[in-house]
Amino acid sequence: MIVLILAVSLGISLFGNHAYAMWVPLSQKELLEQSKTIFVGNVTSVTPINVQYQSQIARNGTIKQSVGPETMILDEYTVKVDEFLKNPQNYDVIKLRQATVGGVPSGPSTIGGFEVGDKVLFYLPKYENQTFFPMQYLPESFKIPQFCDGKDVLMQKRLEGSSNFTVIQNGMKVDYGNFTTSKTIQFLYDKDMNTLLGKSLDVSVGIVKMTGNYNQPVFSQNIHAESKPCQWVASVEWAYTPKEAGRYAMGIIQKEGGIVTDTSSTSFSVRPSVDTLNPMSPLQQFKSGIPSQTVECVSNFQLILKTEDGSPACVSPNAAQILIERGWGHFPLRLG
């Protein structure tokens, strides 16, 4: 059974003819696309008002019960427009009502709210039949510091899911389990601090190598980072070079203002790199009984076989091409 609340005001239309369920905030992209007007303005007055509304409960798509009329208190704002960021209008002062959202099962509830002197980035919704004033702003509207530029704030990319974690090894993004030894792993962590005032973030990282029931600490670092004023994101970076193949575990503790806000633990595997698979030279590998066709070269070198006796050599790709053209050697025939 699906229960929705349809809110219709008495006298002044508060919500229009729309069905509301629990509020799911729009993404940054959706807000840019779906807002009729976006502007930055300063709140010059706040007046509480009583607004009547009627809730209708729908079951399976059919209105079954009407509740109300009921009364709720909303703030009504007078806002002096500072700058239009989308679809400029011909007014420099506008009245707006506090954002609401329909709840389940108790009817509309208020979202947020502002005070006199607040500088706010307002999203105004698109209504098919917008004939009433004052209109409501979208609940995703938010306060910004007076010293921040509204356009810069609007165009900043917000993180999906409040954080982003990227791992790079050998210049490429990799997934856990695809790490190799002897090459530095870069861990890049971005966190949306949910404030434009600037906020510190402290991250403690520890990595252990797991051998049976024993965990050997191999890396630890405490990192301090900050989101700058007028920016949402704080960025943290650390790097570790695994010397041995095997199983590892990494623990991360996050603190904001000295208070632990999140902890996480991740295990991962490291496999031998080509550089460390066989430390012997190509000729040593061959003399030890390894077939010349399967001799391993370090990264960025090419295996060729000498024409005279079939012995292996590891050379650069350019040198390999020259030697083959001169008849000195040839590429090995790979079987299977």
What are the pLDDT digits (tens) for 163-220?
999 999 888 888 776 788 888 999 999 999 999 999 999 999 999 999 888 899 999 9
pLDDT at 66: 62
Tell me: pLDDT of 4 over 50. no
Rounded distance between C-alpha atoms, residue 237 and residue 33, angstroms: 33
Mean pLDDT of 268-292: 74
Tell me: pLDDT of 253 over 90. yes
Among residues 126, 155, 184, the one where a domain terminates is: 155
Among residues 127, 155, 183, the one where a domain terminates is: 155
172 and 109 inside one domain: no
111 and 207 inside one domain: no
Q: Is residue 224 part of a domain?
A: yes
Mean pLDDT of 258-282: 80
Q: Is residue 246 part of a domain?
A: yes
239 and 142 inside one domain: no
Q: What is the share, in percent, of the chain residues with pLDDT greater than 70?
A: 81
Domain at 38, CATH number: 2.40.50
Q: Specify the pTM.
A: 0.67
pLDDT at 59: 57
Q: Is residue 118 part of a domain?
A: yes
Top pLDDT among 129 and 205 is at 205
**Number of domains composing the chain:** 3
- Nearest CA to 305 out of 333, 335, 277 is that of 333
Q: Is residue 8 part of a domain?
A: yes
What are the pLDDT digits (tens) for 74-106?
899 999 999 999 999 999 999 999 988 764 444
pLDDT at 75: 92
What are the pLDDT digits (tens) for 16-42?
333 444 678 888 889 999 999 999 999
Top pLDDT among 250 and 56 is at 250
267 and 282 inside one domain: no
pLDDT, mean over the chain: 82
pLDDT at 275: 55
Residue 215 phi, psi (nearest 5) = -110, 115
236 and 319 inside one domain: no
192 and 215 inside one domain: yes
Least trusted range by pLDDT, from 143-152, 159-168, 249-258, 283-292: 283-292
Top pLDDT among 264 and 18 is at 264
172 and 150 inside one domain: no
Mean pLDDT of 270-282: 69
128 and 218 inside one domain: no
Rounded distance between C-alpha atoms, residue 101 and residue 136, angstroms: 11
Tell me: pLDDT of 6 over 70. no
What are the pLDDT digits (tens) for 292-311?
887 777 767 888 999 888 88
17 and 151 inside one domain: yes
Q: Is residue 335 part of a domain?
A: no
Question: CB burial class (10 A; 0-12, 13-18, 19+) of residue 71?
Answer: exposed
pLDDT at 237: 95
166 and 288 inside one domain: no
Q: Is residue 336 part of a domain?
A: no
CA contacts within 13 A on the Cβ side of 160? 3
The domain of 244 spans: 160-271
Q: Is residue 290 part of a domain?
A: yes
Among residues 137, 155, 173, the one where a domain terminates is: 155
Domain at 165, CATH number: 2.60.40.10
Tell me: pLDDT of 240 over 80. yes
Mean pLDDT of 230-256: 94
pLDDT at 276: 52
Are 35 and 124 within 8 A, CB to CB?
A: yes
Q: Is residue 243 part of a domain?
A: yes
Largest separation between any pair of C-alpha atoms in the chain = 100
9 and 119 inside one domain: yes
179 and 262 inside one domain: yes
Contacts of 298 (CB under 8 A, 6+ apart): 274, 275, 314
